[in-house]
Amino acid sequence: MLIAITLAASAVAAYGILVGALYTHQRQLLYKPDTSHPDPVRAGVPEVAVLSVPTSDGLALRAWYLPPAALDGFTALFLHGNAGHIGHRASRARALHALGWGVLMLEYRGYGDNPGSPTEAGLITDARAGLSALRAKGVRADRTLLWGESLGTSLAVWLGAENDVAAVLLEHPFTSVTEAAQGQYPYVPVRWLLKDRFDSLSRIPFVKAPILIMQGARDRLVPPEMGRALAAAAGGPVELWVAPEAGHDDLGPFGGTEQAAAFVARHTH
């Protein structure tokens, strides 16, 4: 009996240590920035203009900018996913620019040798700064597209709920980091512990612009049913496009860019 009690106590103590470590280091587990300098030439986009984007809390963030082909063309604020930095998305900038769109690829705090450390509140502040940078360049609300990739989809939803824009394009969106993390750590009370929740499901009803949700049916990181839940909760016009053979990071080769272009053409003037 004593041995059983001792083993149980040891198991409880070990579980407590594990949960405590997950709580203490959760932001290191959540965010995966590449802190090296993103070089446009090395990335294959030497033509981008490198901007310094000021945030409301005093940081200066690097961003890459390509203007639209036409003076009144669309410009996408591209909010990238969790890992890496904007240099790893250079092909995305080229693909969107090939549509005639302008592109502003914002780099977050703590990513790509930017100052600061990533948090949910900090990344929301950064996204707002990126939108302000487009406004400063004269991009009107009805010419502004919000393109979010994975973690960036939550930022796009947040901005879309606060601002009038032409369209919101969501690539691999999740309902919340809480739900996604609970799936990864089913044995941990994530709902009680998580600091940065990125709850898109509660925000998407307030987005009035047309929304395109793009997902891969073979996505093992963000379950496709999360996209369906977001589509059901959307407050404005919404379309769901699922690429049957795509996973989490490969919608482009399966036609994601073309789907987004067609969506924008259908829903804007």
pLDDT band per the 50, 70, 90 thresholds, residue 181? confident
Sign of CA pseudo-dihedral 161, 130, 146, 156: negative
Share of the chain above pLDDT 70, in %: 88
Q: Write the DSSP assignment of 161-210 as a string of letters.
A: HHS--SEEEEES--S-HHHHHHHH-TTS-HHHH-S-----TTTGGG--S-
Taking domain 33-267, whether its CATH number is 3.60.21.10 is answered by: no
pLDDT at 22: 60
Q: So where are the chain's domains?
A: 1-30, 33-267
Neighbours of 66 (CB within 10 A): 20
SS3 8: helix
Q: CB count, 10 Å around CB of 13?
A: 10
| Residue 245 per-residue DSSP state | T
Supply the mean pLDDT for the chain.
Answer: 90
Q: Tell me: the pLDDT tens digits for 202-241?
A: 999 999 999 999 999 898 888 899 999 999 999 999 999 9
Q: Are 155 and 79 in contact (CB under 8 A)?
A: yes
What are the φ/ψ torsions at residue 33 (nearest 5 degrees)? Answer: -75, 145
Supply the pTM of this predicted model. Answer: 0.91
**Do the Cβ atoms of 133 and 51 come closer than 8 Å?**
yes
Q: Using one digit for the tens of pLDDT, what is the confidence trace for 90-111? A: 999 999 999 999 999 999 999 9
pLDDT band at 149 (very low <50, low <70, confident <90, very high): very high
Check residue 18 and give its pLDDT: 47
Q: Which amino acid is at 118?
A: P
36-80 pLDDT, tens digit per residue, is 999 999 999 999 999 999 999 999 999 999 999 998 999 999 999
Quick one: DSSP state of residue 33? B
Give pLDDT, residue 248. 84
